[in-house]
Amino acid sequence: MKKLLALILALTMSLTLAACSSGDTTGSKAPADESKAPATESKAPDNEGGKKLIAGMVFQEDQFFKLLSAGYEAAAKDMGYDIQLTNTNNDQSKETEALNTYSAQGVVGVAISPLNTQVSPAAVEDAHNAGMEIAVCNAAIDAFPYAVASFSADNVSFCKQTGEAAVAFIKEHYEADRTLKIGVVQFKTQVPEQSADRVKGFFSALDEAGVKYEIVSDQDAWLQDMAVETAGDMISANPDLDLIYAANDGGTVGSVMAVENAGKAGQIFVFGTDGSEQIVSLLKADTNILQAVTAQDAFQIGYSTVEALINKLEGKTVEGEGKTNIIPGIPLVRGETETLDKYLTDLQGMM
């Protein structure tokens, strides 16, 4: 009997220990499950700083795009976002590659000055379809209908302002019946529509004023070094050239340098596009080569583009949503010292 009671007691203790062991095992799983929750939540921030990350893209390294990028950065900073900048250096494959990289990185939106309106839209649309918001600048929204908005100077209108300054100069310095010989330095092989619109704008002012002219040379050179050589060859081939119209910053500076290198200061005059410290300096220079440009407000274009992008991301009202929004140009003319000085001061404050 005693043996039977001992056996029953031993069996009861064994079952009790097994039950306690089972309870401990069940309890040990709860902390393991809870430890997984923070890991999932930690993926929410887009970068280490906890701010959402956007990107800003340009395609060239000149004063205009430096100011555009400064506008991108200023708007992102003001609105509490981090921004990653990329310059594709006129390389279509780099533009596509950068957009793909941003998509893979989980970038929430891109402000972009696209390289062109033929090839760029496909890559930009792919980025949008992957979940990124897109805001466009320096191009019309027509080719990018999925974009939040577009911000740009009107290439015809602001270059017509330069043409109007040229008309005033021509009337003062040339006889009315003289047919002027004009050379054009543009970038039609780079961004065809934009380049064509700028040339159209400049010459529309001359046409409306009844100025007689002949375009004796029309060449592409959008970077300063390219334009020095191209405009130099143009001058050599046309020693009786009267004027050069250059359609962008690099072409303008390079054309002025080419005239000076050829010893033609006072004989050949340059009208150009875009504004920079260097261009203001050339408008003030005693060489009297550069006569007028119309500057795009590149900083404001960049700022407005990122502002619209972030407002869209935040679910706020976007002024000008779904439209191409025009930022007015800034005329800069030789002899208008007060305007030139103010522009230069504003420019330096933005950089």
254-299 residue pLDDT tens: 999 999 999 999 999 999 999 989 999 999 999 999 999 999 899 9
Cα of 210 vs its chain's centroid, Å: 36
Give ∠ CA 203-185-230 in degrees, rounded to 5: 155
The structure tokens listed for 40 are: 């999932």
Taking a C-beta distance cutoff of 8 angstroms, is the pair 79, 52 a contact? no
In the sheet that holds 290-295, the strands lie side by side as 213-220, 180-186, 243-246, 269-273, 290-295, 330-333
Give ∠ CA 287-153-167 in degrees, rounded to 5: 45
126-158 residue pLDDT tens: 999 999 999 999 999 999 999 999 999 999 999
The CA–CA distances, whole Å, from 144 to 14, 44, 141, 291, 317 equal 75, 29, 5, 36, 20
pLDDT score for 6: 43
145-204 residue pLDDT tens: 999 999 999 999 999 999 999 999 999 999 999 999 999 999 999 889 899 999 999 999
Q: How confident is the model at residue 346 (pLDDT cuts 50, 70, 90)?
A: confident
What is the chain's mean pLDDT, rounded? 87
The structure tokens listed for 138 are: 């320096």
Percent of the chain with pLDDT over 70: 85
280-291 residue pLDDT tens: 999 999 999 999
DSSP sequence for 266-322:
TTSEEEEE---HHHHHHHHSTT--EEEEEE--HHHHHHHHHHHHHHHHTT---TTTT
Taking a C-beta distance cutoff of 8 angstroms, is the pair 275, 295 a contact? yes
Give ∠ CA 47-49-50 in degrees, rounded to 5: 70
The structure tokens listed for 110 are: 């891109």
Which class for 189: exposed (0-12), middle (13-18), buried (19 or more C-beta within 10 A)? exposed
66-107 residue pLDDT tens: 999 999 999 999 999 999 999 999 999 999 999 999 999 999
pTM (2 d.p.): 0.70
For residue 273, the cross-strand partners are 294
